[in-house]
Structure 1
Amino acid sequence: MTSDSARFANGWLPALLAAPLLLLIVVFFYAPVVQAFYWSFFLEQPFGGGSQFVGFENFARVLADPEFWAATGRTLVFMVTASSLAVILPLVLAIAADRQIRLSVPARNILVWPKGVAGASIGVVFAFIFNPFVGVMAPLNAWFPGAWNPGLHGTDAFLTLIAAHVWSGIPFNFVILLAGLRAVPHTLYQAAALDGASPWRRIRDVQLPLIAPQLFLTLVLEFTESITSAFSLIDTITQGGPGGSTTLLVYKIYADGFRGYDLSGASTQTAILMVFVLILAGLQFGVLGRRIDYER
């Protein structure tokens, strides 16, 4: 091993060490993606029996489906609202913890705990918390019967999904943003305070510009995560209801493929969703990433 760089005596050792992880990635990510794109150009039989090449007919059928566009619209609304809140709330908490207000030390530990809870478990808990009869909204229904009922009102069910997603996203984003705030030299705050800057002015002009890389990271991860990880919450809280009001695109793919046995349609929607995620990530890096200074 040289002093300037780490080198392995055997060239095959790095490949051997990385092989298990690479195998898992290929088997559980790349292979399903390739299979989905392949099936999107074929008419697949649900119980075997061969397939028929149909070209772009599956795409034409999916793009002409009003339910597909309705699910896409709900996905975009969920992506913007849930992702924004899942970054703003941890940012507020991280700023409060960085200022070392009362109980900030135990709060930092408590806020990380939800990261160890599975998405399906979060869905079960929030389904109970927002239950119209025994949950936190039960007193509201006692005063105004029927005012809150996620089982009947689509807006209530959608808000429950947003609350569950935001709660599950707080731990990771909180840790990333707090680490960024702790890396900012306190001498900059002191200099701004000597210049007469108010606390809000210091947050806007000192802290936020200097943690722009961390904010960008959390935004990119949240926007992509909200599109794909909402499945477990939907399946445990609303099952896409009521009346399809919480059927996001990722859940519609599951329903079409595993309930409707439309393997070709589900694969086509998966291909469209993958392209959309890639375009979204590219736009974020192209528009926002260029404006971030990583050297400060």
Structure 2
Amino acid sequence: MSAALFSNRWLPLLLPAPLLLLMVLFFYLPVFQSIYWSFFLERPFGGGSMFVGWENFARVLGDDEFWSSLQKTLIFTVVGSTLAVVLPLVLALAADRHIRLAHPARNVLIWPKAVAGASIGVVFHFLFNPFVGLLAPLNSWFPELWNPRLNGTDAFITLLIAHTWGGIPFNFMILLAGLQAIPRTLHQAAAMDGAGPWRRILDIQLPFILPQLFLTLVIEFTESVTSGFALVDTMTEGGPGGATNLLVYKIYVDGFKGYDLSGAATQTTLLMLLVLIFTAFQFLYLERRVKYER
């Protein structure tokens, strides 16, 4: 394979320059600014700052509300990411077997990818409304059985369902592509040896799509830590009683409503550290079990 040649030596650098500029302005600069503010006491409307060292971290780590939000974030990340990978995997396995309506179902399952997170929150907020939503008949038969507006568990379950639904399209496409890349001769040989559908899934399909499973798991774990903001903001606003106050939403409330810029920046730094730990664990431990060539 011949390498690409450019007549101008600066052209290869100019082509990715717009993307690099956007990354610096909207990712790296805010990251470094948050780390910087976490060591200073920032005034909410400007006018100077004072270096306080690790005092912001001591204040945040001593706050019970921070640990409560962190716990909810971890539960949301683990449960939501698992559901957002397992459910598309089941759908991809069904679509790959060419069952009835599998072909039109592929198109339908991809459509939600075009829906923004805030729109998903608005739709699910209406669908799970205890009075006019899909589960409203339950309240007429069993009063107060389902009420996300007052019951924290119901509200958290609604968030998980909305997050899982939003993650289905991308993960479904990745996993289905991996399944379709498996040679059909392997399925035929296994069927001739007497292997049933479940045995073929466990011994052939799942081992071959480990790279795709690892990719979707990494993306979901990373996205679920931050993508829950749009859902919380449009569905629950952290309630009821702080039951859905994920850390990413708490940072927004503390920074933009409470004007605690230093506290919000410190929590942002801790959240980035959490994401780095998750990602490092996945790449240092899980990736070792993934084989990219067979």
Normalising TM by the smaller chain, what interval?
A: over 0.9
Task: Determine if the alignment matches structure 1 residue 122 to structure 2 residue 120.
Answer: yes
Within-5 A mapping of 1:1-296: 4-296=2-294
- Per-residue deviation, residues 145-180 of structure 1 (Å, max 9, x unmatched): 111110100000000000000000000000000000
Which SS does the other structure have where 2:15 is aligned?
helix
Structure 1 distance, partners of 2:265, 2:207, is 42
Structure 2 distance, partners of 1:22, 1:81, is 34
Shift of 1:279: 1.1
Structure 1 distance, partners of 2:6, 2:289, is 39
Q: Percent identity?
A: 70
Shift of 1:241: 0.2
Runs of 4+ in 1 over 6 A off after TM superposition: none
Structure 2 distance, partners of 1:98, 1:11, is 47
Structure 1 distance, partners of 2:2, 2:76, is 48
Shift of 1:189: 0.7
Structure 2 distance, partners of 1:167, 1:176, is 16
Which SS does the other structure have where 1:229 is aligned?
helix
Shift of 1:273: 0.5
Shift of 1:49: 1.4
Q: Report the residue type matching 1:248 in the other structure.
A: L
Structure 1 distance, partners of 2:91, 2:107, is 12
- Per-residue deviation, residues 101-153 of structure 1 (Å, max 9, x unmatched): 11111100010000000100000000000000000110000001111110100
Instruction: Give the unaligned 5+ runs of structure 1.
Output: none
Structure 2 distance, partners of 1:131, 1:87, is 26
Structure 1 distance, partners of 2:223, 2:27, is 15
Aligned length: 294
Q: Report the residue type matching 1:57 in the other structure.
A: E
Relative to the length of structure 2, the TM-score reads 0.99
Shift of 1:4: 1.7
Instruction: Give the RMSD, CA atoms, in angstroms.
Output: 0.7
